[in-house]
Amino acid sequence: MRYLSHTPEELRSMLDAIGVKDISGLFDSIPKEVRLDAPIDIKPRTEWELRREFEAMANANCPAVAFLGAGAYEHHVPAHIPYVAGRSEFLTSYTPYQPEVSQGTLQAIFEFQTMTANLLGMEVANASMYDGANAFAEAALMTFRLKRKTERIAYSRLNHPHYVETMQTYFRPSGFEAVELPILPNGRTDFSKIPDGVSAIIVQSPNFAGVIEDLEAASKAAKEKGVLLVVSFTEAMAWGLLKNPGSCGADIVCGEGSSFGIPLNVGGPGLGFLTCSKKNVRSITGRLVGETTDKNGNRSFVLTLAAREQHIRREKADSNICTNSGHNALTAAMYMATAGSRGLRAIAQLNHDKAAYLKAGLEKAGFKPLFDAPFFNEFAMKAPAGFEKRHEELVKKGFVAGLDLGRYYPEYKGAWLFCATEVHTREQIDAFLKEVA
C-alpha cells in the first residue's frame, strides 16, 4: 500500500522494540464481544480503477447552462487561485494552535477578517463559520446573548428557506422561537409590524426572490422598536455594487462567501461570514485572529479570545464550533485581493448587466416580473402557462431555466427564480431565450 511505508523487516524490529509478538497483540484491550466478524467489505481500487469509477460518477451529473442562484452562484474562478490555495502548506496544516509554525495561515486569516469587515462595512469579522446557513443560525443565537431577556426573533419570509430551517434545527431543543415578517406586494419585507419581545429582525438582501431590501428602513424600524438588525446574504458578490449593510446600520451581518473563488461543488463546503461591531465582539462565536508581537518585537498573529470557545469553556461556550471553513476563507481572501476594489465593482456591475439582459429577454418571451423591485443578479418571473413542462424539455437541451419558487412559497406558484452572472455570455443567454420563446 503506497501510503504505508514499513517493510516486513521494519515491522519486525518495531514489534521487537515494543515487545509484542505480532500486531494483533497490540489490540488485546478490545474485548471479543465488540469485534467485527469479517473484514470490511470494500475492495481496494488501484489509482486507475479509482479514477475511472469517479469519472463515471462525475459524468453522470449532466452539465447544463444553469440560470440558477438561490444560495449558490457560479462565478469565474481565476486559475491562479486554486493553484496557490492548493499549496500543501495551506491545505495539509491543522488549525493554527502553534503560531510559530502557522504564521502563513494566521496572517492570511487576519487579512481575510480585514477584507470581509471592509466589504460589509463592519468592525469585526470572525475567521469563518461552516456556511451561510450556519452563520445565520449562529447570528440568531448571538442576538439572544446580546438581548438577555428575549427568546424570540423575527425573520423575513424571504430569507433563504434552508437558512431558516437550519436556524430552527438549532432552536428546537432550546425553546427559542422564530416569528415571520410578511412580504409587501413589492417583494420587500414589511418592517411595520415587528412583534413585541423579539431580540432582533433578520433580513436577507438581496432576498430569496432577488429583491434588494431597503436596509436603511430596516435599521430605522429596528431602532424604533429597540431591537437588533441582522442582515444576511447568500450572494457576497452583491456587495461589490450595493451599499454595504454596515453603513445602513446593521448590528450583525452574516452570509455565504463561496461566490469568491470557490467552485459550486454541489453546494458544499460553503463559507460562512459572521461579523459584528467591536463592542459586541465577546458575543461572537468562532475563531478570531489577532495581531500581537513576539518575544523579539516582531509583528505576529495568534488565535485570540479563545476563552469564548469550547476547548476552554466547554459547556459554558456559546457555540460548539471547532473546525470551521478555514481553507475556503483563505481562498475567498485570495479572490478579494485578486479582484481588488475596482475589479470587484466591475464584476458586480457585470452581474447586474447580465441579469438585466436576461430579464428583458424573458419579458419579451412572455414572462412577467413577480415584483416591480430592484434586483442584483437574481429575479423572479411569472412564467407563461405550461412552463413547468417546458422547463423539463429545456433540461434535455442543456438549459436549467431557473428554480420553481412555488416549491418554497405556495403564494408564488407559477413564478420562477432566475440568475445570471458574469460567466453567462450573451451568446448563451440568446441561445436560451431562443429556446424559451
Scan residues 249-278 and list those touching other proteins (CB under 8 A): 256, 263-270, 278
Among 164-172, 179-187, 191-199, 364-372, the segment contacting other proteins (CB under 8 A): 164-172
The reply on whether position 393 binds other proteins by CB under 8 A is no
Size of the site for other proteins (CB under 8 A): 203
State which of positions 77-116 bind other proteins (CB under 8 A). Answer: 78, 80, 82-96, 98-105, 107-111, 113-115
Distance from C-alpha of 374 to C-alpha of 349, rounded to nearest angstrom: 14
**CA separation, residue 75 to residues 49, 241, 377, 423 (Å):** 32, 16, 12, 6
- Return the residue of 152, 162, 208, 250 that touches other proteins, per CB under 8 A: 162
- Return the residue of 146, 217, 365, 423 that touches other proteins, per CB under 8 A: 423
CA 237 centroid distance within chain: 12
Closer of 105 and 207 to other proteins (Cβ): 105
- Return the residue of 8, 21, 63, 193 that touches other proteins, per CB under 8 A: 63
Minimum Å distance from CB 87 to other proteins? Answer: 4
State which of positions 213-232 bind other proteins (CB under 8 A). Answer: none
Distance from C-alpha of 160 to C-alpha of 415, rounded to nearest angstrom: 16
The reply on whether position 363 binds other proteins by CB under 8 A is no
- The strand pair at 177-181 and 152-156 is best described as parallel
The reply on whether position 180 binds other proteins by CB under 8 A is no
Burial degree of 35 (CB within 10 A; 0-12, 13-18, 19+): exposed
The reply on whether position 179 binds other proteins by CB under 8 A is no
- The strand pair at 368-369 and 289-293 is best described as unpaired
Closer of 266 and 385 to other proteins (Cβ): 266
Q: In what order do the strands lie in the sheet with 177-181?
A: 124-125, 272-276, 252-256, 228-233, 198-204, 152-156, 177-181
Closer of 193 and 295 to other proteins (Cβ): 295
3-class DSSP state of 230? strand
Minimum Å distance from CB 226 to other proteins? Answer: 26
The reply on whether position 131 binds other proteins by CB under 8 A is yes
Closer of 85 and 227 to other proteins (Cβ): 85
The reply on whether position 410 binds other proteins by CB under 8 A is no
- Return the residue of 21, 61, 149, 226 that touches other proteins, per CB under 8 A: 61
DSSP structure string for 185-228:
TTSSB--TTPPTTEEEEEEESS-TTSBPP-HHHHHHHHHHHT-E
- Return the residue of 151, 180, 224, 357 that touches other proteins, per CB under 8 A: 357
- Return the residue of 139, 222, 230, 330 that touches other proteins, per CB under 8 A: 330
Closer of 367 and 416 to other proteins (Cβ): 416
**CA separation, residue 371 to residues 119, 379, 427 (Å):** 28, 8, 27
The reply on whether position 55 binds other proteins by CB under 8 A is yes
Q: 362 near 388, Cβ under 8 Å?
A: no
Minimum Å distance from CB 379 to other proteins? Answer: 12
Q: 109 near 303, Cβ under 8 Å?
A: no
Q: 205 near 245, Cβ under 8 Å?
A: yes
- Return the residue of 223, 279, 345, 397 that touches other proteins, per CB under 8 A: 345
